[in-house]
Each structure stands twice: as C-alpha cells, then as structure tokens.
Structure 1
Amino acid sequence: MKDELSTIEKNSTWELVDLPYGKKTIGLKWVYKVKYSDDGLIQKHKARLVAKGYSQQPGVDFSETYAHVARMETIHDLIYFGTNKAMVAEFKNQMMKEFEMTDLGLIKYFLGIQVKQSPGRIFLSQEKYIEDLFKKFNMSQCKPLSTPMALNENFQVNDDGEKADSTTAKRILRYLKGTKTQGIEFKKESECKLVGYTDSDWVGSIDDRKSISGYIFCLGSNVISWSSRKQKFVALSSAEVEYIACTNAACEAV
C-alpha cells in the first residue's frame, strides 16, 4: 500500500483542491491481489488504489470513456510524422493541444534501440542489444534462422515432441542472429494513408480449438501496428473466425 501511494505521489496522479460547490466526492477502494509464480509459489503481493467509478455519471463526473495509455503504436506514429516535414506543422498543432513535446535532437540510442537518422528517413535497429544476448547465453556462433517459430505447425500442449528449453529459447536467438541487421524503417512519403490487412487461422490451437487472428497496419508503406494472437472465443466456422479477426482489426484501426 505504501508503494502504491508513493507511486501515485511520484507520478502526480492527482492534486488536492477544494471541493467545488454542489459536487460530491468519489470514494476510493483498495484492491488486493496475490501474484503467483509458475510453480505455484507466492511471488508478490499487489495493492491498487482505485476510484469507485460506478458512482460517477456520464457528462457530470466524467466525459472520457477510456483512460489514455501510451502505446508503442503511438510511438511509431510520432516517428512516422517526424520523417515527413510536410505534415509536421499540422501534426504539432494537433499534438501540442494535449501533450508537451520536446525535440531530443540527433540521438544514437533510445530504449536500447539503435537509431539511424538521415533527411526523410529513420531506421530503428536492435543489433547492439542482440549482440549482448548472444554473449550472455554463449550463442555468438549459433546458426541463423529466418523465422522465430517452425512454420505450418498448430499449437498443442502435448505433441510427443522434444521439450523446449525455456531458459534459453534457442530458436528465437537463432532467428535474431539471422535478422540482427534488419529493423524498422520510417521514410518520407507524399501520402499519409492508413491501410490495414487482417488474416486468421481456424483452430490454430488443437487443445482448446481456438483460432489465431492477425493484422498489420501501415501509414503509407511504413508499418506502425501489428499483432498475431489466439482469439478469446471458440469459433464454430472459418467464416466466424474471419469476422472475429476483422472485428479485432477494426478496433485497432479506431
């Protein structure tokens, strides 16, 4: 509880003010949770202080329908617009209404990612981070692979195959070995058009009969958002799988 209060104060989550005339305070509630490790042991105790939102009235106590969260897709948007000078002025005018922005100038590394900048082009690469991983797990001489997973395989808990070594995830490291010079490129373009694609794999998980959804979104030719994950519900047909995948993609587009 002390950690939670300390975080709230550190992040300036709220400020104390006099209660406006005719308004009622919204109560708070402590929510406790025990987090367990994979072997069933208690890993940590968590406490969260939350507002009793059910006592609020739309248009009276609040106008937003969701909490603002910084997402990686937003960072990709910022980088994309940063490479297109023609859009920067309009973009800044919109963003400055809600956010404070600071020009960091020319940077070489950001959050462990190598950044290469040139006029109208930004290239993000994690080569340095990958090399450190190879040294840590003694796999600098491993053979490279072009995919992080075996192709054309359905998910299954017990498939009588050899158990994977979860402590090293060797195949993923071998994939990184083969793609360490690759990265994400954001380049200058004349058109800012959002385009999305979606696909699905019916009954991709044999054990629970759930399917896999995937989507990818681009601004121009610059990829800004992507996902591939198991659907929450069991679809009864391949057509239903496609509808669920399209719905997920539509929500991301919005």
Structure 2
Amino acid sequence: MHSPITQDSPINPTQPLSPQPTSSAPSDSPSLPFPADPTPLDSALLTPKSNPPTQLILPSRQSLRPKQPKTWHQSYHMSNQVNHSAPAPRSASGTRYPLSNFLSYSRLSSIHCAFLANITGHTAPSSYAQAILDPNWQQAMNAELEALQHNNTWSMVPLPAGHKPIECKWVYKIKYKSDGTIERYKARLVAKGYTQVEGVDYLETFSPTAKLTTLRCLLTVAAARNWFIHQLDVQNAFLHGDLHEEVYMEPPPGLRRQGENIVCRLNKSLYCLKQGSRNWLSIFSDTIQKAGYHQSKAYYSLFTEAQGTSFTAVLIYVDDILLTGNNLQEMERLKTFLLNRFRIKDLGDLKYFLGIEFSRSKKGIFMSQRKYALDILQDSGLLGVRPDKFPME
C-alpha cells in the first residue's frame, strides 16, 4: 500500500480566533513611564473577566463527490469474510495462522498425497557450508568432481597475465522418482557467468528454452489423446559441449588447490556459462535429428517424429527432457539411442518437472506449484502469516 501524501494542514477550526497572550521578556530598550499606583479605571482594565468569550467552532467540510471503487479492484474477487480485527487462536505449535489449516488434500488420491509428502519432507542445502555436513551431499559433490575430471572439463594452469578468472559455486537439487522416493542427490558445479566479459570470455549466447505455454499445449494434447508421458534427466549435460573461447575459472570449493596462482582453464562448457546452454542444445539437436526427429520451426526446443499413426514428441528444457507419444516402443528406442550418447536417467512417468507437480487421472492432468510456493514461504519466514482472500497489489 502506498503511504498517504502528507499536506500542510489548515488552521484548526477549534482554535480561538482571538490572539493568545504572550509573555513579554525584559529588554534593554527604555520602558514607558507607568504610574506606581494604578487608578481604579486601570485596575478594571487589567483584571481578567470571569466569563471568557465563547470560542468559535467551524464545522468540518464534507466532500460531496460520490466515492467510486478503484478500477484495479475489478480484476480481483474481494471478500470481507475474514475478520482481521479478531485475534486468531494459536495452534499447539505456537503459530497463530498455521498453513495446515488452509491446505486441503481431500481431492487428491492417497498415492499422490504420499508422493507430495515425500518431496516436501526433503530440502536441498543452499550453501557449501551446509552441504559439507551431510554425507549424502559430500558423495554427490565428489561424484560431480570425478565426472568433471574424467571428462577433461578443465586443465590446471597458472593464470596468464591480463586475464581474470571467473568464480563458481555449488547448486544442490534432489531428483525424485515417480513414486516420490529420492532417485539421487544432485550436486552441480555452476560458473558465475555474470562476471564474464563479452568479446573475451564469450561471443554468441542465444539459446531457446521451452516455455510454459509450450509445455501446457503439449500436455493438453497428450491428456486428450491418452498418450504416454515420461521424463528423463541428463547428467552433466553441459559437459558435452566444447568450449572454443579461452575461459579461466577459480578452483571450486572442495577441490585441492595446487598453488596460489593456479586456476582452471575450461575445456568444456559449464552450467551458467553464457555460451554453455547454446553449446549443449547444438549437440543435443544434432544428435536427436540423427535418430529421425525434426526440430520445430515455431518452438526450437520441441522435436517430433511421425510415422503413420505413430507420433512421438520430445521437449527439452536445459537438461530436463519430457517424452510423450502414443507408441511406447518408439519411446523406448529413443531412450536407448540417447543413452548410448549421453548419461541419461529414466525417471519414469511424469510427476515432477521444472518445479511443477503433475497428477494424472481420467479427467486430465492437474498441474500445481505447491512445493515451489511452500519453499518460497519457508525461505522468507512467512509460513505462519495471516492469509487473505485477494492478492496483494
């Protein structure tokens, strides 16, 4: 809400219009000659009256303009059913407005409720200091470093004069199976690409990614025609793209340093490099087209293959792949083809993709970002705040 604009307040109509008496301070100027004993007339004039004059009170001015609701209110459904003045009773946990009182899972199946409970019960660390305390994340980081070194991602060299290395950090993510169990702990080393210099560390960066509109349209067709929907995950996707620029990076946390001025010269692309996504999509596009798939001219992240009544579609978002179609044998053939060229994990039926939860039934596909919203509320410390019936301005 915008704070009201403070204007100069008018004269208070309740103040008396007669001037207030002020006390005279002594001064050095010569005083007027007053008689020592005032006359009776002077005493009468100097004596205050017992009944002071009545103060003149002006009535406050009321605006006659009709009040109209703001136009932006028409975009929302505003309800006055919530009494904000009445204090709400506190729960056993001490929270006045527990979120569990406002979330309902009655319309979801027991299997999907178990899936939601599994993915909600785990939280990925937000920093290296937190992850290093958990053996699961230690193993994940060691596996990532081994994969990077095995793929010859960088070479340890002294930093040349005139070059500035970019920084890097760890990003942690939990991969789930279709039943909600943890498939693996994924630790990803990403470069801080915002420190790259154009013309020195990178040249071309354009790379299309799947839009949510494309995903919704594809799932609408799949639900209407009862297609199979699977999801895949590519491990170390960006490492398949060659790096043509000369880029230097500081050693990642957890890697033993070999000297004070020793840095990593990148031979392969890393996540969050400005040109990394472009290099990976170019490699994946060339590979999948060799399998007989055609790249869409309207959505470059969508690949399709049609033979007679068989139809298969592939939608890629960085290293997450959505696979759908009416021919299960063709989908398995494509999985085998990609597995021979990349390190791919088959996550089964579509359940959790791009932070969106999917629940499928005979009526269609239900999409929800419940976990994503809960994570934001938890990170900001707003899980127990008072709910409202309409969104904030």
Q: Which has the larger radius of gyration?
A: 2
TM > 0.5 fold call: no
Q: Structure 1 length normalisation: TM-score?
A: 0.31
Query: Structure 2 length normalisation: TM-score?
Result: 0.21
Query: Which has the higher relative contact order, 1 or 2, with Cα contacts under 8 A spaced 6 or more apart?
Result: 2
